Structure 1
Amino acid sequence: MLRIEQLTKTFGRNTAVDRATLQVERPMMIGVIGRSGAGKSTLLRMLNRLEEASSGTIHFEGRQVSGLEGRAKRAWQADCAMIFQQFNLVPRMDVVSNVLHGTLNRRSTLASLFNLYPQADIYRAIDILERLGIAEHAPKRAEALSGGQQQRVAIARALMQDPKIILADEPIASLDPMNAQVVMQTLRRIHEEDGRMVIANLHTLDTARRYCDRVVGMRDGRIVFDGTPAQLTLQIAREIYGADASFSEEATSTEIAALERGTGRPVPA
């Protein structure tokens, strides 16, 4: 379904992603973990074509998407929706209009300029907001919502694209534990109910273990682990993060119970 071969991205003399190779045979929820600077965000941005690869290829459903240009590239970006840590909403615009921005890739320039949306799209946007539990906020400005609610609006915008893949770049890094759980549960439910592939960069091990079918570990731009959550042992986690024996998985917890005990301190992403 998705095949990444020897994908590399360099910035001058620095290599952000180093010959990453990954194959995904079916829709899964995949968590990508690693320290800050490991190459996680760059990998997702190359998949979405926000960053151009220095070398290597990306294939999806038998088609090479890493070389697409123009309209074909925009169509791929619609199929491969991106969710960002900082939401990337228009703060002073109402929630439903932010969600409708998910249709921009398939609308004319004139319609986009004057914010003209078919009634069917408006109804669909409200239905998606209802599904995510925030329909009552549709007429409000995005800036009036909490961080967790804004991230669900961003997820709704991604769903408006009707994508085959959802890429989430640190979707819970700026959220409190309660909202983080709501957002991760939402992404998991979308994967299970819609059969969509979800690939999320995550900054804590317990989140990857709890919500993902597969975990990919990156260190210094390279994929150094690819397996199930059960295979992600403490020793392997230490190797991914480049940590010594003092590294404790409990110290990376975002679970509310652990935080209430005063033991939860997120590892830097």
Structure 2
Amino acid sequence: MLRIDKLTKRFGANTAVDAATLDVDKPAMIGIIGRSGAGKSTLLRMINRLADATEGSITFEGREVTTLTGAAKRAWQSECAMIFQQFNLVPRLDVVSNVLHGTLNKRSTFATMFNLYPTEDIHRAIEILDRLGIAEHAPKRAEALSGGQQQRVAIARALMQDPRIILADEPIASLDPMNAQTVMEALRRIHEEDGRTVICNLHTLDTARRYCDRVVGMRDGRIVFDGLPEQLTTGVAREIYGADASFSEAATSTEIGTLDRAEAAELEAKAFV
């Protein structure tokens, strides 16, 4: 379905992504992990064509993506929606208008300028918001919502594109554990119920194991691990992150249960000092 073959991105003398190869044969939820600067975000941006590859190719169902230009490139970006860490909403616009921005690639310049939307699109936007549990916030300004709610608005905007693939670039990095869990559960449901491929950049191992069918590890621009969640042992994680024996998963966890256990262990340790 999706083939990434020796994809490389260089910025001058620096190589951000180095000959990355990845095959996705069927819809899946894939987590990409690795430390900051490993090349995760650059990889997603090349898949979405927000950045051009220096070398290599991306093929989707036999169609070469890396060479698309103009309307064909915009059509691909509709099929391959992007969700960002900082939401990228228009703060002063109401929630439903932000969601409707997911249809911009399919609308005329005139309709875009005057903020004109078909009634069926408005109804669909509200249905998507309802599916994500935030329909009651539709008339509010986006800036009035919490971070977790804003990220769900961003997911709703992506769903308005009716994409085949959703790319999520650190979607929970700026969220508290409760909101992070809500957002990841929403992405998982979208994969399972809609049959969409979701590729999600993550920092935390427990999140990757819990929500993803497959985990890809990147280090210094290269893919160094590609396997099932249960194969992601602490030893493998140390290799991916370039860490020593002091590496602790709890230190980077976003799972409430893991955090509670880590806090209890820390308090217990202090009690014996």
Normalising by structure 1, we get a TM-score of 0.97
Aligned to 2:259: 259
Structure 2 residue aligned with 1:87 = 87
Q: Distance in 2 between matches of 1:42 and 1:112?
A: 29
Structure 1 vs Structure 2 CA RMSD:
1.0
Contact 1:132 1:156 in 2 (8 A): yes
Q: 2:168: which partner in 1? A: 168
Q: Deviations over 1:49-101 (max 9, x none)?
A: 00000010000011111100000000000000000000000000000000000
Q: Which residue of 2 is the match for residue 25 of structure 1?
A: 25
Q: What stretches of structure 1 of length at least 5 have no aligned partner?
A: 265-269
Aligned residues: 264
d(CA) in 2 for partners of 1:140 and 1:213?
36
Q: Secondary structure at the match of 1:93?
A: coil
Q: Offset at 1:257?
A: 2.3
CA displacement at 1:234 relative to structure 2 = 1.1
1:255 Cα shift?
A: 1.4
Match of 1:58 in 2: 58
Residues in 2 aligned to 1:263 and 1:242: alpha-carbon distance in whole angstroms: 25
Is residue 206 from structure 1 mapped to residue 206 from structure 2 by the alignment? yes
Give the match for residue 267 of structure 1: none
Aligned to 1:215: 215
Residue 129 of structure 2 is aligned to residue 129 of structure 1:
yes
Q: TM-score, normalised by structure 2?
A: 0.95
Task: Quote the Cα distance in structure 1 between the aligned partners of 2:62 and 2:224.
Answer: 26
1:224-243 to 2 correspondence within 5 Å? 224-243=224-243
SS at match of 2:117: coil
Amino acid in structure 2 at the alignment position of 1:191: H
**Contact in 2 for aligned 1:35/1:219 (Cα 8 Å):** yes
Percent of pairs identical after alignment? 80
Structure 1 residue 260: deviation in Å? 3.0
Q: Which structure: larger Rg? A: 2
Aligned-partner residue type, residue 18 of structure 2: D
The answer to whether the 8 Å contact 2:9/2:15 transfers is: yes
Partner of 1:44: 44
Q: Supply the AA of the counterpart residue of 1:164.
A: R
* Residue of structure 1 equivalent to 2:268: none
Aligned partners of 1:251 and 1:263 also within 8 Å: no
Residue 7 of structure 1: aligned partner? 7
How far 1:250 moved relative to its partner?
Answer: 2.8
Structure 2 distance, partners of 1:233, 1:258, is: 16
User: Does structure 1 conserve the Cα–Cα contact (< 8 Å) formed by 2:250 and 2:259?
Assistant: no
